[in-house]
Amino acid sequence: MKKVAVIGSGVAGVAIAARLAARGYNVTVFEKNLWPGGKLSEVKVGDFRFDAGPSLFTMPQWVDEIFTVAGENPREHFNYHRLPVVCKYFWQNGKTLDIRQDMGATAAEMSATFGESPDALTKYLSKSSKKYRLAGEIFLQQPLNRFKTWLNWKTVRALKYLPHYDLFKSLHSCNDSHFRSPELIQLFDRYATYNGSDPYRASGMFSMIPHIEMNEGAWAPEGGMIEIVKSLYHLGLRCAVSYRFGSEVSEIKLEGKKVKGVIYNGNKFQEADLVVSNMDINLTYDKLLPGLKPPAKLKYEERSSSGFIFYWGMNRTFPDLDVHNILFSSDYRSEFESIRKGEFSNDPTIYINISSKYHPPDAPNGMENWFVMINGPNDSGQDWEKIKKQLKKIICKRVEKITGVNIEACIVEEEVLDPLKLAKRTLSADGALYGSSSNSMWSAFLRQANQHSSIKNLYFCGGSVHPGGGIPLCLSSARIVDQMINDEL
């Protein structure tokens, strides 16, 4: 039985471990933390529970598929339901909009509030869906470094439609040419942040993301986001994956053009026929492969943005808020300019997620658990304690305006995650939330492939490699690695 060492138990790590073990490989996962999940873990503060990182769940079928591959019925282990309201938006001019599961109702509200033509949304989503079907399914679900990907009729057909993908326009100019109202342009620009990018630089191709969220749906896992990891971890255990927590890998041992195993916890050696690194690709090269030159293209990759997160236990409920809430800044362009300069904007967009609205045990009766996040720069030595105080003041003031409630007085528990803490906790380069950004038209082609170009038994999965960050793409990276390993055999 071939031995596989997986480095890291992020969502892609637990996924590839379960997939390979289900195929009969002897899999050991090395995780430096004492728990699985990496960014997708949980935080408990007093009587409140919070999902530590991701809060928006799309494409649940990609989690289901892993159970099916292992011969199990996903419904016996992992369940979820579609959210009736995808996200609630607030602007500082007093306008609000609920993006609902019912797109007809959403289009009517857009038209009534913003004077947008009633079919503007339908047309946009139809184009978005076409882009996803033609290009997304090919470029996000297959390795780009294989002839097989390029030499098939589906790819040729996708390339034929290239001029329709808005690849060489920014997402902002794509939205600007479609919607009249500045509020809706801002709303659709926000999708660039789903992979830590800047809408004024990311490609118009990303206008395919609304299709995934609005047409296919935003979902709530029963038990919270953490259930994604817990259920895959337990699936792995049932397939005989061996998890070694508290085990940091310090080197991938090479012999010529072959990986021989990994060194962990100082000087312990574990032999392996295959190694899959779920560690950030930049750190995999820097720390685990000191003798190996990283591919030159990695140098040109820009990190995704980071963020500052407050986990607040609130002593009351807020009926005006939903599960996902966005309070927009008044000048989106300058917000991204600040991030580019390594700073937080003084007037940032505020995201509030309240999982206790769909999973009540996350907060005591009559209370709520608020996950409050501001997108921001990577860690470059900023004074995070000072920034925390500044951001807290700004957030409380802005939320107070909308709810009419003294927010600071409602906070009974507090914990924070700043970019430096995130970098240390999950070994993510400079605290990037999504690995690398997509701030250039070429970023898809700059990403590290899922297999090393010359060391053929070394594979990579997770947010910092192809096809990118976010739960669905991380799961896709695990699926691609699984396919590649199978193809090699």
Q: Which positions ≥6 away from 221 have C-beta within 8 Å?
A: 57, 60, 78, 79, 80, 227, 228
Task: Kindly tell me the burial class for residue 347, based on how many C-beta atoms sit within 10 Å of its own C-beta (0-12, 13-18, 19 or more).
Answer: middle
Least distance to ligand FAD from the beta carbon of 161, Å? 26
Least distance to ligand FAD from the beta carbon of 90, Å? 19
d(CA 222, CA 228): 9
- CA torsion 325-326-327-328 (nearest 10°) is -170
d(CA 73, CA 64): 8
Nearer to ligand FAD, 70 or 279 (CB): 279
* Structural contact between residues 383 and 287, judged by C-beta atoms closer than 8 angstroms: no
Residue 270 in tokens = 């574990």
Least distance to ligand FAD from the beta carbon of 42, Å? 12
d(CA 89, CA 328): 7
* Structural contact between residues 414 and 217, judged by C-beta atoms closer than 8 angstroms: no
Nearer to ligand FAD, 56 or 171 (CB): 56
Task: Determine which helix (DSSP H) or strand (DSSP E) holds 232, and give its type and residue range.
Answer: helix 226-238
Least distance to ligand FAD from the beta carbon of 368, Å? 18
Least distance to ligand FAD from the beta carbon of 51, Å? 9
Nearer to ligand FAD, 114 or 459 (CB): 459
Least distance to ligand FAD from the beta carbon of 404, Å? 28
Nearer to ligand FAD, 114 or 243 (CB): 243
Q: Which positions ≥6 away from 268 have C-beta within 8 Å?
A: none
Taking CB positions, which residue lies at the least distance from ligand FAD? Answer: 10
Least distance to ligand FAD from the beta carbon of 462, Å? 3
Nearer to ligand FAD, 110 or 416 (CB): 416
DSSP 168: T
Q: Which residues bind ligand FAD (CB under 6 A)?
A: 7-13, 30-33, 38-40, 53-56, 248-249, 278-279, 307, 309, 373, 422, 426-428, 433-434, 462-463, 469-471, 474
Nearer to ligand FAD, 252 or 399 (CB): 252
Nearer to ligand FAD, 110 or 429 (CB): 429
For the residues of 374-404, what is the DSSP string, one character each?
A: EEEPPPSS--HHHHHHHHHHHHHHHHHHHH-
d(CA 383, CA 63): 38
* Structural contact between residues 394 and 346, judged by C-beta atoms closer than 8 angstroms: yes
Q: Which positions ≥6 away from 133 have C-beta within 8 Å?
A: none
d(CA 291, CA 259): 13
Residue 160 in tokens = 């034929």
Nearer to ligand FAD, 57 or 188 (CB): 57
* Nearest residue to 68 via CA among 11, 3, 18: 18
Least distance to ligand FAD from the beta carbon of 427, Å? 4
Nearer to ligand FAD, 313 or 472 (CB): 472
d(CA 291, CA 422): 27
Least distance to ligand FAD from the beta carbon of 363, Å? 19
Q: Distance of CA 29 to CAs 7, 16, 70, Å?
A: 6, 10, 18
Least distance to ligand FAD from the beta carbon of 151, Å? 29
Nearer to ligand FAD, 129 or 277 (CB): 277
